[in-house]
Amino acid sequence: MLKYDYTNALIPDYGISQTDIDGIATKLNDARSEIFNVDIPLFENEGTVPTEKQPLDTAFIDLPEKLLNEYESKRNDSELGMIIECAANIRSNVDRAVILGIGGSYMGAKALMESCCEPYFNELPKSERGGVPRIYFEGNNVDNDASQGLLKLLRTKQGESVQDNDWAIVVISKSGGTTETAVALRQFLREFEATVGNEKIGDLVVPVTGVSGKLHELSTAIGCKHRFAVPDGVGGRFSVTSAVGLLPAAIMGLDVVAFLKSAVEMTQHFKSADIGSNCVMDYVAVNHLMEEKGADVRLLSVWAKSLECVGLWYDQLLAESLGKAEKGALPLTVVNSRDLHSRAQQHQEGKRDKLVNNLIVENWKADPLGVGQSENDQDRLNEIAEKTLPEIMTAAINGTNDAYKEDRRPTTDILMPSICEESVGQFFQMMMLATVLEGRLIGINPYGQPGVEKYKVNMNRYLGRS
């Protein structure tokens, strides 16, 4: 399991105390009980949902367990089985796949790719990618040059075989009406028809969408053979354990079963463990109490480059869920030790409005890379020649935490055993549960994003669309 250590946040005057945490234990337990004993039954029994709880999108909580149970009993006929089969078909027929989506419709998948796949994944030859296609993301902006650049790349011949040059599209949008993704689909579908062929749309263009709506209707009209649903009661930023995240992950060759099992483990841990040994509840307690003391900037300090997109995924989750009614912390992701050379001065001596949550990797994938001896020792590194990069990273983490502690700047540590499907799956579920728990604690509905809808309306008005 992931571990959460808040020892370095227990700082007199500038941090919190264990007494503070104990003092909100009852409120946290009540909020957890509300999630499991009120919210979930309300949704599942289709009862009358009170206005203050609308929308009520609790289905993400039990979704991993339901998908795994169905897979266990039905295998290829289950939704997860069909996702795995569809991904295998794409992997065997193309060397490039484009994921179209915005916000929660793509951020989880991109985080999974950057964390769990090999570094520089798309640059590796196919044999070193395990036969997995190169993965590209678009439809998350309306950047003319970025779109043109990817289209140019897709029409560039990659090899002699059909498989080398064909590519696939996975388009993700629950409504199908989000302008950025809809525009991208039209443009990339046009290129697909020209370079791959209209006759292959059925097999190589796969929508993940609602059971009705614009994208559902379009995918029927163009003859998509495979189509996966965004389940009812699963909002975009809570959808990474649905087909939204699972289909791209399976195309990448990741172990989606292990990913889902880890999410189930985190839910069971949250449901049963007591505060003090419950990483979800402890995280909410510390971050909430620090925000009440004025630390309304919540830094996720990731100590691995591959976790940057994991942090950006969390930024969106927290911002859209709790940034309402003039409440909610400002989430920011920093990558260390890289950003110690650009942001640390402010964090060390700037305003005391921040809590640093470190995300620390305990075991690296690759063998430790040593500094090594050199005859040219002008850099004076021979004195640490026997040290490795993991050892240097540990020194940077400890040194930074010590510096913050000396200046009475609170920090906490989320300890990730390794960067893999299991650990990342636990982290995703931990943060989704923590965000909902904090919303219930402070009286903010964590579901829905009314502010985002306003920009869409105004954007369409400027475009002359109804």
pLDDT of residue 137: 98
d(CA 195, CA 203): 15
Q: Is 220 exposed, middle or buried (0-12, 13-18, 19+ CB in 10 A)?
A: exposed
Q: Which two tokens stand for residue 210?
A: 């609602």
Q: Is residue 46 scored above 80 in pLDDT?
A: no
d(CA 446, CA 318): 9
- Which residues in the chain are classed under CATH 3.40.50.10490? 3-48+259-446, 63-254
Q: Is residue 459 scored above 90 in pLDDT?
A: no
d(CA 383, CA 371): 10
Facing residues of 169 across strands?
98, 205
Average pLDDT over residues 360-389: 97
Share of the chain above pLDDT 70, in %: 100
Q: Are strands 354-363 and 330-335 parallel, antiparallel or unpaired?
A: unpaired
Which three-class secondary structure state does DSSP give residue 56? coil
pLDDT in tens, 323-367: 999 999 999 999 999 999 999 999 999 999 999 999 999 999 999
Q: Is residue 466 scored above 90 in pLDDT?
A: no
Active site residues: 320, 341, 456
Greater model confidence, 23 or 49? 23
pLDDT of residue 336: 98
Q: Which two tokens stand for residue 433?
A: 């549960």
Topology, domain 63-254: Rossmann fold (3.40.50)
Per the listing, tokens 């809570």 go with: 238
What does CATH list as the number for 3-48+259-446?
A: 3.40.50.10490
Per the listing, tokens 């510390």 go with: 286
pLDDT in tens, 401-428: 999 999 999 999 999 999 999 999 999 9
E-state strands within 174-296 = 205-209, 228-229
Contact predicate 405/242, CB 8 Å:
no
pLDDT of residue 452: 77
Sequence-ordered list of residues with C-beta below 8 angstroms from that of 368, at least 6 positions apart, any chain? 388, 389, 390, 391
Contact predicate 76/255, CB 8 Å:
no
Q: Is residue 258 scored above 80 in pLDDT?
A: yes
Please report which confidence band the pLDDT of residue 451 belongs to, taking 50, 70 and 90 as the band edges: confident
Q: What is the pTM of this model?
A: 0.96
pLDDT in tens, 156-174: 998 889 999 999 999 999 8
Q: What's the distance, CA 372 to chain centroid?
A: 36
How many CA within 13 A on the CB side of residue 283? 28
Share of the chain above pLDDT 90, in %: 91
Contact predicate 297/353, CB 8 Å:
yes
Sequence-ordered list of residues with C-beta below 8 angstroms from that of 388, at least 6 positions apart, any chain? 368, 369, 370, 371
Sequence-ordered list of residues with C-beta below 8 angstroms from that of 323, at least 6 positions apart, any chain? 451
pLDDT of residue 454: 82
d(CA 141, CA 148): 12
Q: Are strands 411-418 and 3-5 parallel, antiparallel or unpaired?
A: antiparallel
Average pLDDT over residues 382-406: 97
Average pLDDT over residues 74-85: 97
pLDDT of residue 449: 85
